Amino acid sequence: MGPVRLSQLKRLFVGTPLPTAQSRHERLEKSTALAVFASDALSSVAYATEEILLVLILAGTVALSYSIPIGIAIAVLIAIVVSSYRQTIRAYPQGGGAYIVSKDNLGVPAGLVAGAALLIDYVLTVAVSVAAGVAALTSAVPTLFPYRPGLSVVAVVGIALANLRGIRESGQLFAAPTYLFIASLGGLIVYGGLGALFDFLPEAPYQRHPPGLEGVGLILFLRAFSSGCTALTGVEAVSDGVPAFKPPEAHNARVVLTWLGVILITLFLGITFLAYDFGITPRPEETVVSQLARHIFGGGFLYYELQAVTMLILLLAANTSFADFPRLSFFLARDRFIPRQFATQGDRLVFSNGILILSGLAALLLVIFGGDPHALIPLYAVGVFLSFTLSQASMVRRWLRLKEEGWWWRWWFNALGAIVTGLVMITIAATKFTHGAWIVVLLIPTLVGVFVLVHRHYEEVAVQLSLDGLGPPAPMTNTVLVLVGDIHRGVVKAIQYAQTLSPNAKAVYVETDPERTRRLEEKWGKYGMGAPLIVLTSPYRSLLGPLTEYIDHLQEQGENHVVTIVLPEFIPARWWQLGLHNQTAFLIKGAMLFRKNVIVTDVPYHLRH
């Protein structure tokens, strides 16, 4: 497949390139931004209650009543975190992600820890959201249950392609399912609440225990609470993505964050109360939301519509990570903590390298864990609450350090947020450590170590490339060698090119067969363009050994002597024929890559069809 066809295929899936001047027009309205940045947090209500019940059921159906106080505690936590992040947006209208805020106020190490935690969290968000969305599908269509990993990977690829087309297009694509999910789940809660209030829906299949705090061990209660805290994942996305809003960016982001908090608390508490009231118990083959919808709506159209929009919102919730992972990668690359390629925008004004890496890592996780959301969730919330805590603690330091307008009361919001999220982080790490959280606990410092190594490399490169203290450069000499294995049109062209570099260009041939050498020397006088032919003997039939020895000999002329190797290389007409040729050229280029003062250049000769 040629470059032209590849380009056409790229245009088909990704779209035509956009000029840089178009970037301001790619900003998001508040209604679209809610769909782009809030879908992760909103979708988590589809499995947060289920995660609470999965832990409580270990103590029997009596313990399920504790979902009520746990749900209320999590709702209060959501309100605290939302209020705290509203202050962050006010202070950082250019984008107040945990990495930037922590680095600015607590120093680079804290910023790197927050950045590592968020990068891991974004990958897990994609994996968990997609796996939960596929679980909603297999709940409605049980025959698809064995195909969860494959369906999950296909979904990740589809979302990645949508995001490669650009922010505005992906936001428009995801807006309808997000609002349909809010309306459908809201309808379920209202109708289910009326049914519970007026007793026109079936009651719980067992005697419900009044909500309380007695009778269940503290560890089990804390495990259930930490599992339910997945409801908060994605809340920070609005703060991270402030630059994507239309002006006034900070005001619009604060409004959207408030909308998100109200909707999130309403949906989460509604599902939790209904699950308790109707006696829903978690089952591996069917989600809690599916059971609730079947209980309230029966098995008709409304049930399947709710399952369909739940699947969509869970799949599209991954879009939050696709919006924020590349943006965080940009900031890290700008500060030279990860490769610079992550700071480059693609054809559609998105950071395509970040999108591709995110989708690849998420797909790999889904394959490793078999597309099971319950296996992935224990890894999930540690990084989230670590970044929450660092971000809020950073804001406390900022208010106390700068004493900006209103600081004397604003810092209390962030102080409360830091204390609460810090305690939750410790609880999650302790209760989920043996269930998989240890992986994230090890990954975060490992990733921070990688950041430090990359940054150190870029600093060393900058020092060595700096012009500071550079005097007049010493004269440079050059020996040009054309490496030949035969004499043909491609070699003749390479000799012509080499003679433009130096009139004293030489051809070098490594002899492995004396008979071939004799035939080559017979032709050389006629076609060699007057270039002398140097024959290097190779008793052990090695190409690189004699060549490197000859180059070493040439470089004895001094530090400023350069050896240029010209490689004749013919290019086949068909892409699949490339593997049949040029292995010697690849071998030589690889061997010479790290040799000082050796330059290797190709002279291609294109074959016709």
Q: What is the DSSP string of 531-555?
A: --EEEEE-TT--SHHHHHHHHHHHG
Co-location of 124 and 176 in the same domain: yes
**pLDDT averaged over every residue in the chain:** 82
pLDDT tens, position by position, 35-50: 777 777 887 888 888 8
Sign of CA dihedral 135, 140, 145, 149: negative
Co-location of 519 and 451 in the same domain: no
Co-location of 366 and 502 in the same domain: no
Q: Which is nearest to 381 in space by CA: 437, 316, 449, 465?
A: 437
pLDDT for the residue numbered 349:
43
Could you give the CA distance from residue 70 to residue 87 in angstroms, rounded to a whole number?
Answer: 26
b/e code 52-84 from CB counts within 10 Å (16+ = b): bbbbbeebebebbbbbbebbeebbebbebbbbb
Co-location of 306 and 350 in the same domain: yes
Could you give the CA distance from residue 520 to residue 497 in angstroms, rounded to a whole number?
Answer: 20
Amino acid identity, position 555: Q
Co-location of 586 and 537 in the same domain: yes
pLDDT tens, position by position, 276-286: 888 888 887 78
Question: 574: domain CATH number?
Answer: 3.40.50
Question: Does 125 fall in a domain?
Answer: yes
pLDDT tens, position by position, 529-556: 889 999 988 877 778 888 889 998 898 8
pLDDT tens, position by position, 143-164: 888 888 888 899 888 888 877 7
Question: Does 549 fall in a domain?
Answer: yes
Co-location of 403 and 515 in the same domain: no
Co-location of 409 and 361 in the same domain: yes
Could you give the CA distance from residue 336 to residue 346 in angstroms, rounded to a whole number?
Answer: 19
Domain extent at residue 453 = 24-374+391-458
- Joined together, the tokens standing for residue 358 give 């995110």
Residue 497 has pLDDT above 90, yes or no: yes
Domain count of the fold of the chain: 2
Question: Does 221 fall in a domain?
Answer: yes
Phi, psi of 569 (to 5 degrees): -145, 115
Question: Does 540 fall in a domain?
Answer: yes
Co-location of 485 and 452 in the same domain: no
Question: 84: domain CATH number?
Answer: 1.20.1740.10
Q: Indicate the residue among 458, 489, 517 that finishes a domain.
A: 458
- Helix ranges (H only) for 243-286 are 249-277
Question: Does 321 fall in a domain?
Answer: yes
pLDDT tens, position by position, 578-604: 666 657 777 888 888 888 889 999 888
Q: Under a CB-based contact definition with an 8 Å cutoff, are residues 38 and 178 in contact? A: yes
Co-location of 403 and 544 in the same domain: no
Co-location of 429 and 514 in the same domain: no
| Contacts (Cβ under 8 Å, ≥6 apart) of 220 | 55, 56, 58, 59, 63
Question: Does 213 fall in a domain?
Answer: yes
Question: Does 381 fall in a domain?
Answer: no
Q: Indicate the residue among 426, 458, 490 that finishes a domain.
A: 458
Co-location of 346 and 233 in the same domain: yes
Q: Under a CB-based contact definition with an 8 Å cutoff, are residues 226 and 381 in contact? A: yes
Co-location of 78 and 125 in the same domain: yes
Considering the entire predicted model, what is its pTM?
0.74
Residue 131 has pLDDT above 70, yes or no: yes
Q: Under a CB-based contact definition with an 8 Å cutoff, are residues 359 and 124 in contact? A: no
- Helix ranges (H only) for 338-488 are 352-368, 373-376, 381-402, 407-432, 437-465
Question: Does 15 fall in a domain?
Answer: no
